[in-house]
Structure 1
Amino acid sequence: MSECHVPSVEGSLVVFDFDHTMIGCNSDTWVVEQLSKRKEVILGKLSEAGKRNAWTAGMDQAMAALHEEGVSVESIRECMEAISIDEGIKKAVRRVSSRGGDVRVLSDANTLFIEWIIHSNGLGPSVSKILSNPAHVEASGKLRVRPFHTDPHPPTSTSPPNLCKGRVMEDWLSEKQWTRVVYCGDGGGDFEGCLRVPSGGVIMARDGWTLHKKLLQAVEAGDPPRAPIQAWTDQHDLGTQLDALL
């Protein structure tokens, strides 16, 4: 594990994946588990959609199924707002924001879920940008989820069709000369984003999860990412490491 420390966070960019990184669960499956009377059926269909690389479309269908069951958007929001973010992570986010850094969420979940959880945990003023699959509520009360990217990714991208985090990171990195870039993630969808982190940055990858495995495979293949890799085990550990890093 590489040890990195830079005394100032001013001008830095700190990027968080959301599910299983900033929060300790998968918000998509959590809401179905908590609110649906047919959760086994819906989760089964969602799993099948994931295997077809169509998770976002599957989540849109899952929200339609909840609507058919009579589950209100208010109930969905309350379910999301019950999810807590680790105190150490919240401390790190607030510190970066207050000291001139930029904290952003880059996630394959959806904008509404993330906004509800971020604000209920008091981090709304500290997170400058949330980029995810756009979600909205129709007049009927049905929550809809749409893919962020609708145009093809570059041929070399390994990302799911709805969101290439590598493309997003390229856009963000071109905005200015960041003093440092820190990327926190866990899943395979974070891999392309991590490859864009410059050498002066840090990749915070969840130990033993897909992102970590893919990064180690790249190292073994002689094609490592430019930034050092730092592993974390759970949200408390991530918060502790960010406290030391930032």
Structure 2
Amino acid sequence: MKRCCEGVGLPCLFKGVGMAGPRPPRFLLVFDFDETIINENSDESIVRAAPGQVLPDHIRQTFREGFYNEYMQRVLAYMGDQGVKMGAFKSVYESIPLTPGMPDLFQFISKHHELFEVILISDANMFGIECALKAAGFYSLFRKVFSNPSSFDKRGYLTLGPYHSHKCLDCPANMCKRKILTEYLAERAQEELEFQRVFYVGDGANDFCPAAALTAMDVAFPRKGFPMHRMAQEMETKQPGAFQATVVPWESAAEVAHYLQELLKKC
């Protein structure tokens, strides 16, 4: 991924006649949702709206690795059959807590909103993400949210679909986050906005795929001890230097805010 400002610490300049000096650096900040922004897996959380707050064995046993989206379609159909309506889902999504330090990070981004373009790429669903972020008061921070389409049908059932199809062998059948991120960067480049650096904040195995495509200018923020972190460590052990981005693990998202704050001092 070619970017402007390839020299460390160099300001990004307007190209055009009559422009008077440098503009602030522009960074792309990419977030995962489940267990990154929120401190739970939202797909598991909504089971709290099911009768008895449990799923029957005949539903749970249909799960297949790599086809979680299809599994959740069956879970939601079951919950619809049990009479679970929009209000119950909304109540659960709105009650899920943010991860430690995430409000601090979001407030920092909001304070420096002219420097950061913020997007979210998640294998959850659009309805749940919108509910959670609006309840927390941070939905407006995101220029774009990429997630699986969801809506309520005529029966009042919450329905779910796959985001897209792809050819990546390392990602779930319904979503490759690397494909989404690569296409987004290409789209913004066509609009004459190339980012100085990309920052990726995530936790899961499906966050490792896009993070592994980052350049040496970029920073991956894996949640400490979660699959994305372990996979980055394993790659560094097996193929030193293959994971190009700087890796900054975090337990509190306030650590991410502190890192970004220190970086801005150098720009």
Deviation at 1:6, TM superposition (A): 6.8
What are the equivalent positions in structure 2 for 1:69-108 lying under 5 Å apart? 69-85=82-98, 86-96=102-112, 98-108=113-123
Question: Are 1:6 and 1:245, in contact at CA under 8 Å, matched by a contact in 2?
Answer: no
Q: Indicate whether 1:64 and 2:77 are aligned.
A: yes
Structure 2 distance, partners of 1:42, 1:10, is 52
TM-score by length of 2: 0.80
Question: Are 2:149 and 2:162, in contact at CA under 8 Å, matched by a contact in 1?
Answer: yes
Q: Indicate whether 1:204 and 2:217 are aligned.
A: no
Secondary structure of residue in 1 paired with 2:198: strand
Question: Are 1:169 and 1:196, in contact at CA under 8 Å, matched by a contact in 2?
Answer: no
| Counterpart residue number, 2:54 | 40
Structure 2 distance, partners of 1:111, 1:43, is 27
Aligned residues: 233
- Matched residue type, 1:89: L
What are the equivalent positions in structure 2 for 1:1-246 lying under 5 Å apart? 10-32=25-47, 34-42=48-56, 45-46=59-60, 48-49=62-63, 51-85=64-98, 86-96=102-112, 98-150=113-165, 152-154=166-168, 157-174=169-186, 175-176=188-189, 177-222=194-239, 223-233=241-251, 237-246=252-261
Structure 2 distance, partners of 1:57, 1:99, is 39
Secondary structure of residue in 1 paired with 2:34: helix
Deviations 1:159-191 (A, max 9, x none): 111100111111122223101110011111111
**Structure whose residues are more often helix by fraction:** 1
**Structure whose residues are more often strand by fraction:** 1
Question: Are 2:117 and 2:143, in contact at CA under 8 Å, matched by a contact in 1?
Answer: yes
Structure 1 distance, partners of 2:209, 2:62, is 24
Deviations 1:224-243 (A, max 9, x none): 2211111112xxx1233323
Unaligned runs of 5+ in 2: 1-7, 12-23, 262-267
Unaligned runs of 5+ in 1: none
Deviation at 1:64, TM superposition (A): 1.2
Q: Larger deviation: 139-148 or 77-86?
A: 77-86
C-alpha RMSD over aligned residues: 2.3
- Matched residue type, 1:28: D
Question: Are 1:42 and 1:62, in contact at CA under 8 Å, matched by a contact in 2?
Answer: no
Structure 1 distance, partners of 2:212, 2:258, is 24
